[in-house]
């Protein structure tokens, strides 16, 4: 058989590609169940970390189911979308990604920590090298931050990547998203600087652009929940 023949080359390439495609499709099919489960558990861990709870992979699903009492989508007016309730990974609140144009609303999780309600909202934004995201847990009054959790795809280790550490996210505890009944969110400032118009936390030294990204995310991503938070804020007063 002549190996340099064009017909042979084309057939060889086609057969090879089909075999490889079948093999990969099979692998994906077999493993996708576990992969989705891993992603869901990871998301649950992040949500729990925003409640200042660092739980292991094994405990996360049970802890999540125990603490999160309700989850739903809200529309731009901050009103619950009918029929969107449910906390399991298949329900709309959990499966809706922020920034999805097709989404019917913005996800909100309601947690019950020692008898007091907390509202958890997801955030997404841009860091220096790629996307950053996070979860913000807010007290029942819709204004005081109970806890925060941040994640990133590829920020600089030791600098921007420090936003995932507890020492950074703990700085947000107790900060107020409202100032004189205006939604101002929480600012991230250069360490040592202050901001008189908004509550603020220190950013990461050497991670200026990532810190700025977190600042923008807190303003824009949380800002989309402004009406929802206003409603909570108004009813609490």
Partner 1 sequence: MALSSKTKAVLWGPLNKNNPVIVQVLGICSALAVTSKLEPAIVMAIAVALVTAFANVIISLLRKSIPNRIRIIVQLVVVAALVTIVSEVLKAFAYDVNKQLSVFVGLIVTNCILMGRLEAFALGNGPWPSFLDGIGNGLGYGWVLVVVGFFRELLGSGTLLGYKVVPQALYDAGYENNGLMMLAPMAILLVACIIWVHRANNKELQEETN
Residue 190 engages partner 1 in binding (rule: CB under 8 A): no
Q: What is the dihedral of CA 213, 130, 155, 121, to 10 degrees?
A: 50
Residue 191 engages partner 1 in binding (rule: CB under 8 A): no
Residue 124 engages partner 1 in binding (rule: CB under 8 A): no
Closer CB to partner 1, 147 or 151, in the complex: 151
Min dist. Cβ of residue 95 to partner 1 (A): 18
Query: CA-to-CA distance for 200 and 187, rounded, in angstroms?
Result: 4
Closer CB to partner 1, 31 or 234, in the complex: 31
Structure tokens that stand for 201 in this block: 């936390």
Min dist. Cβ of residue 20 to partner 1 (A): 5
Which neighbouring-strand residues pair with 181? none
Min dist. Cβ of residue 30 to partner 1 (A): 9
Residue 193 engages partner 1 in binding (rule: CB under 8 A): no
Residue 9 engages partner 1 in binding (rule: CB under 8 A): yes
Closer CB to partner 1, 3 or 196, in the complex: 3
Residue 54 engages partner 1 in binding (rule: CB under 8 A): no
Say how many CA atoms lie within 13 Å of 7 toward its Cβ. 2
Residue 13 engages partner 1 in binding (rule: CB under 8 A): yes
Closer CB to partner 1, 4 or 101, in the complex: 4
Closer CB to partner 1, 36 or 236, in the complex: 36
**Residues 6 or more apart in contact with residue 206 via CB below 8 angstroms:** 158, 159
For the beta carbon of residue 219, count every other beta carbon within 10 angstroms. Answer: 17
Yes or no: say if 72 and 85 are a contact pair by the CB < 8 Å rule. yes
Query: CA-to-CA distance for 27 and 2, rounded, in angstroms?
Result: 34
Query: 145-174: which residues touch partner 1 (CB under 8 A)?
Result: 153-154, 156-158
Query: 57-86: which residues touch partner 1 (CB under 8 A)?
Result: 57
∠ Cα 36 128 97 (to 5°): 30
Rg (CA), the chain: 22
Closer CB to partner 1, 18 or 236, in the complex: 18
Structure tokens that stand for 193 in this block: 């600087």
Query: CA-to-CA distance for 69 and 85, rounded, in angstroms?
Result: 10
Structure tokens that stand for 103 in this block: 């989404």
Min dist. Cβ of residue 34 to partner 1 (A): 4
Residues near partner 1, by CB under 8 A:
3-5, 8-9, 12-13, 16-17, 20, 23-24, 27-28, 31, 34-35, 38-39, 41-42, 57, 153-154, 156-158
């Amino acid at each position: 058989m002549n190996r340099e023949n064009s017909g042979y080359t084309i057939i060889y390439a086609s057969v090879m590609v089909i075999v490889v495609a079948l093999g990969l499709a099979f692998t994906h099919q077999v493993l996708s169940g576990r992969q989705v489960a891993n992603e869901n558990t990871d998301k649950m861990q992040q949500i729990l970390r925003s409640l200042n709870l660092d739980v292991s992979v094994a405990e996360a699903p049970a802890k999540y189911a125990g603490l999160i009492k309700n989850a739903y989508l809200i529309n731009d007016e901050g009103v619950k979308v009918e029929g969107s309730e449910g906390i399991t990974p298949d329900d709309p609140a959990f499966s809706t990604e922020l920034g999805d144009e097709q989404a019917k609303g913005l996800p909100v999780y309601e947690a019950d920590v020692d008898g007091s309600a907390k509202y958890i909202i997801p955030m997404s934004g841009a860091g220096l090298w790629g996307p950053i995201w996070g979860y913000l847990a807010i007290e029942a009054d819709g204004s005081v931050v109970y806890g925060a959790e941040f994640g990133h795809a590829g920020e600089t280790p030791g600098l921007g990547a420090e936003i995932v550490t507890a020492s950074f996210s703990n700085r947000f505890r107790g900060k107020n998203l409202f100032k004189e009944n205006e939604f101002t969110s929480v600012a991230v400032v250069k360490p040592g600087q202050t901001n008189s118009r908004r509550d603020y936390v220190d950013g990461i030294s050497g991670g200026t652009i990532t810190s700025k990204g977190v600042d923008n995310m807190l303003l824009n991503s949380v800002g989309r929940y402004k009406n929802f938070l206003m409603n909570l804020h108004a009813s609490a007063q």
